[in-house]
Every structure is written in structure tokens, then in C-alpha cells.
Amino acid sequence: MSLTIIYWRDIPTQLSFGKGRKAKKRPLADRFMVAVDKAAMVSGASDDDSYLEEWRREEIEIGDEAPEAAMERIAGELEAQYPTKILAQLAQNGGRNH
């Protein structure tokens, strides 16, 4: 089984399991979307097309772990890996790690 991490450029924003309307979703803390909004302004990705083009998905294998438990575990790991200072740096770099 796998979960999906949804990113805007290099900023994670949400976890999901399943597809379509029945998908279970776990947004990360609000500070992640605040960083995305700032990064989009810095990078000039202000029109809908350029903003939407930057979303990507990454599949994470969770084996036999319950999806809800895996989402909470991975969300906690991502929130620890991306403290406010790191998100601010990503925003200043237009959402990129480099």
C-alpha cells in the first residue's frame, strides 16, 4: 500500500490515501500553505496556470501499516522536518530547496 504526499514545488502540503471522492486526506499545518502562497508570489507564479503546473505527487510505500496511522506518522515527520525557519527559506527561494 502507498500514501501520496502532495507538494507545491518542494513544499509538502498534504497526505492522501486512495483516489477520488473516497480518498482520505490529511493536510499539514497551515504554515505549509502560507509558505506555498509566499513562494508563489516570490517566484512570480501568480497566474493560475503557472501556479497549478507546480503541484506534484510522490508515492510513499507504507506496507501493511494502517493508512490513517501512516498518515499521522508521516505528517508528524514532515512537520518536524520542515520547521517554520525552513519553510521561510523555501518561500524566499520560490518554493525550491536550492
How many other β-carbons are positioned within 10 Å of the β-carbon of residue 40? 21
Q: Extract the C-alpha cell encoding 74.
A: 508521516
Say if residue 68's pLDDT is above 90: yes
- Average pLDDT for the chain: 95
pLDDT tens for 77-90 read 999 999 999 999 99
pLDDT for 47 equals 77
pTM of the model: 0.92
Candidates 98, 90, 79, 76; CA nearest to 11 is 90
pLDDT tens for 37-64 read 999 999 988 778 888 999 999 999 999 9
pLDDT for 50 equals 85
